[in-house]
Amino acid sequence: MKIDGHFWFTKDGENFLGNGRIELLEQIEKTGSINASAKAMKMSYKGAWERINQMNTLADYPIIEKVIGGKGGGGTVLTPHAHELIATFKSFKKIHRQFIERFAEAGDDPERLARILSRTFLTTSARNQFSCNIQSIKENGINGSIKLKLDGGDSLWADITIKSIRNMGLIEKCNAYAIIKSSNVTICNIPPKNDNQINVLEGKIEKIESINENTEVTFILNGGETLIGTISLEESKPLQKENIAYACIAKQNIILGL
């Protein structure tokens, strides 16, 4: 038995945005033409226009606009509001998929599903919470080292006790959450060498905000995940926005959740 679910935005009791409509908008952005987009999606022009017209009617602002003349002879482009809708839909779809995957973990065991749901809605004060998949578990005495793959593709190692691994029922290929306090994330320009107790992740600095003696750094991993680090004002001085940098996280400072 497989648990699955479809994801739609509705408005005023009518279907507003779904996977097919988002694909249609993205085709229009790519081709600049409703007709070409309809052909690419193997639907009639009438069918494509009806979908666009319904979205336009339900949206708070227009989602397409005509461009007259010019080098390309004119066409159809998406409005800024359409781009906002696409980004919002994709963000919610990702969360929805993660939610469905949590259901799927239970298989046909309703009691396990109830336990998963009771943990799904747990809120923590940690700034960094990542959905991930357990790639491997290595046992070493009373501790275990767990390799995690984030949704964006980056990898982390977390060290927790074997007892915790057993109590949580952690196994390879199951999904989990990596929870990291921002104060346990150090951002630097030069990665540390020969320290196998630290995760070193490459990325780019998006934002640097200093308040009194502390600095909050917003860091984008190569895989696209956002990581927040809180460091001292002195530590932040060599950092510059948009520069390549490295996030350092001790393996023992990663908390796992289900």
SS3 at position 205: strand
| 219-231 tens-digit pLDDT | 999 999 999 999 9
* Residue 227: CA count within 13 A, CB half-sphere: 34
Q: 122 to each of 3, 88, 150, how far by Cα in Å?
A: 22, 23, 19
Check pLDDT > 60 for residue 254. yes
More confident residue, 244 or 111: 244
Quick one: pLDDT at residue 115? 59
Quick one: pLDDT at residue 120? 56
**Placement of tokens 């020969």 in the chain:** 194
% of the chain with per-residue pLDDT over 90: 62
Per-residue pLDDT band at 232 (split at 50, 70, 90):
very high
Contacts of 248 (CB under 8 A, 6+ apart): 185, 186, 187, 188, 191, 192, 198, 199, 200, 201
The CA distance from 103 to 9, in Å, is 21
Q: What is the mean pLDDT of the chain?
A: 87
The CA distance from 240 to 245, in Å, is 9
The CA distance from 90 to 77, in Å, is 20
Quick one: pLDDT at residue 122? 55
Check pLDDT > 90 for residue 94. no
Check pLDDT > 70 for residue 191. yes
Contact indicator for 65, 76 with CB cutoff of 8 Å: yes
Check pLDDT > 80 for residue 74. no
SS3 at position 226: strand
Handedness of CA 127, 97, 132, 23 (dihedral sign): negative
Structural domains of the chain sorted by starting position, each given as residue range(s) with its CATH number in brackets: 9-98 (1.10.10.10), 180-250 (2.40.50.100)
Quick one: pLDDT at residue 195? 82
Check pLDDT > 90 for residue 69. no
Contact indicator for 63, 25 with CB cutoff of 8 Å: yes
Contact indicator for 28, 68 with CB cutoff of 8 Å: no
The set of long-range contacts for 134-142, using a CB threshold of 8 Å and a minimum separation of 24, is 134/170, 134/171, 134/172, 134/173, 134/174, 134/175, 134/176, 135/172, 135/173, 136/172, 137/165, 137/170, 137/171, 137/172, 139/165
Strands (E), the chain: 9-11, 14-17, 64-68, 74-78, 128-140, 143-150, 155-161, 175-180, 186-188, 198-211, 214-221, 226-232, 244-250, 255-257
* Region 110-115 average pLDDT: 66
The CA distance from 214 to 21, in Å, is 45
Residue 38's CB is within 10 A of a number of other CB atoms, namely 22
| 113-159 tens-digit pLDDT | 665 665 555 566 778 989 899 999 999 889 999 999 998 899 999 99
| 205-217 tens-digit pLDDT | 999 998 888 999 9
Contact indicator for 241, 206 with CB cutoff of 8 Å: yes
pTM above 0.85?
A: no
SS3 at position 31: helix
